[in-house]
A and B are shown apart, each in its own frame.
Chain A
């Protein structure tokens, strides 16, 4: 109704195309500019300018204080020869892949359970969301205590002395402790997204499938999973992106140790840039890291979106 009214009015007010554009702007209430312009200014001032100045300092040997010189791209060249940085990329990607897979498998399983008709459904949903509300740093310190004291004591009492060591104290296995903590915390958020997706599926489809005699697994494979494809994509992209940026849980659990075995990229940037007096060098690392995350997320989105089912 309103659409026809506007369309009827428009030709009368403006005969030519340019005039129509101008009149459209004039008719937009000023309020929207008052909303958008401050947001742009704040975004530009607090995000874009720091990013650009950081990119500039990545071309210098600035230590964070004192004098500095422009050094061209030598920071970037050194970066690709620095095995500590390359190791941190290896660790971070390995960690992100394992955690993304585990988080999505576990979150989807929990979401399917919470979506079916079970008793205390609302209470269960609340319980599973709690880990996400807690700060990751606090969870990290709690798990740190569990790994150092509680788990060894429990395994010793169970008569499994082989498992009674502290997982976080082993250079080869400390990453598993970080994965456990991260998955425990991050699954909650993905459960919520999957639940939202599951509720968009009409019950009719399942009824029809039940009449055709489809099993539970078959229903999941042929109806549920294809229909929440878009949610699967967004969960994969979001969790992989946030696991590539892993920082807090490592600070709380291992501080990058033992040795340098669990140093993530973000931790190397923070340590070298703010504690090691290599601001310029780690800025170069941060710039590379920024582009790596953008490219990985973009590729992931393209590949996963291609296999989403379209039923419309």
Chain B
């Protein structure tokens, strides 16, 4: 039998081990938020674009050279929208962030995750039309006033990409009206050329066309009305106001190649780069990916001719990269410095050239990329509207409904489904909608 004196021994050892683990954990936690041993401030920079890691690394190196007291650590993850929510659940808001300014951003901004940047001098240099797109997604209105929660760093545009060589070979002009677009597609089909290369294996690739059609055809302020109204007495609905857009969506996708439902976005970029189709229903963001497949790919662009009125054409533009600052960051001054550096004209211009984006700054030189030449005038003239899918909460499976729509062609089911999904989500998440 063991004597009682031996019993406390393992316990004491356990206690010591616990103390060690606790000490190590505290140390790790402290070093995360301290000013560092040599007075240096470390900024945690959440960067969402995997293809731009190199560009941002170069920007950070230059920034650190100018500001020896500040160190910036770039964190880039796959699936950033899910990653940022996971960080927020743990109450870990990065000091400085970039995010795609979409519906997801809007929900986070309304939840008051980000600092107010309206007092930032950099905010004055931004094109107001672009800032409006950011503001329309939602802001924190904690003190009753609308805040500026993100500054646009790079804008993209959705239009039809086309292959100028194929157009010339078939004697087709760039279409400016809906009838001309359909006539062009018919000509290509008659000549044995695929009009569009569609990639419906990835459900979201049905949405660029839809945001252009729906965004142009919907009544003004559709989403504001829809959000404010009681579903029972609503005067607007997808069924009422989006029927035309849904019909045109189905008509466009009837010109796809045969196996369109089993091809994905990567296959589409490759096929368009190799000249397998005359047009491609994507946006400026696809240009770097197409060039990665074929650096000499012939690419042109033009805005969606949604109606038969050539003057009513607009370009759907979103803020590809927005910059935010964590609301409660302990390094607000340093974060501000970094944001100002990012928003400086040279940095923005260099980035937009490298990534084929548009500069959201007021007095920026136009992007000279020939692939963007068809869209650039609309952007400079401010003839732009936002992505309407950013107005639809993430809980509504919009892209999946669109995928079904273009495969089955059933517009009636699509519109009623979209209405019912919207109503269900609105009923469930009233507090988030109100910007509490």
A contacts, CB < 8 Å to B: 30, 34, 61, 63-69, 75, 78, 81-84, 147-148, 152, 165-166, 168-171, 255-261, 271-272, 274-279, 281
Contact = CB atoms under 8 A, between A and B. Distances in A.
Contact of A69 (B104, B108, B408, B431): B431
B113 interface: yes
Nearest to A148: B262
A81 B89 CA distance: 28
Given A65-B89, A166-B262, A78 B201 contact: no
Contacts of B403: 257-259
Given A65-B88, A274-B82, A277-B394, 17 more contacts: A61-B428, A61-B432, A63-B107, A63-B432, A65-B113, A66-B432, A75-B428, A78-B427, A81-B424, A83-B420, A148-B262, A166-B262, A169-B259, A257-B400, A274-B86, A275-B394, A278-B428
B420 A276 contact: no
B200 A169 contact: yes
B337 interface: no
A81 B428 CA distance: 11
29 contacts: A34-B10, A64-B88, A66-B110, A66-B112, A67-B436, A75-B428, A84-B397, A84-B421, A148-B262, A165-B259, A166-B261, A169-B200, A169-B201, A171-B408, A258-B200, A258-B261, A259-B403, A259-B407, A260-B397, A260-B400, A260-B404, A274-B82, A274-B86, A275-B81, A276-B393, A276-B394, A277-B104, A278-B395, A278-B429
Given A61-B431, A84-B397, A274-B85, A66 B262 contact: no
A53 to B, nearest CB: 12
B407 A168 contact: no
B100 to A, nearest CB: 14
B160 interface: no
Nearest to A272: B395
B431 A67 contact: yes
Contacts of A152: 259, 262
B92 to A, nearest CB: 11
Contacts of B200: 169, 258
Nearest to B397: A260
A268 B185 CA distance: 38
Contacts of A63: 107, 111, 429, 432
B391 interface: no
B401 interface: yes
Nearest to A34: B10
A69 B432 CA distance: 10
A67 B262 CA distance: 42
B262 A276 contact: no
A260 B414 CA distance: 12
Interface string B146-179: 0000000000000000000000000000000000
A115 B84 CA distance: 53
A1 to B, nearest CB: 24
A236 B191 CA distance: 57
Given A259-B404, A272-B395, A277 B203 contact: no
B427 A257 contact: no
Among B82, B111, B397, B407, chain A packs the most CB atoms within 10 A around the CB of B397
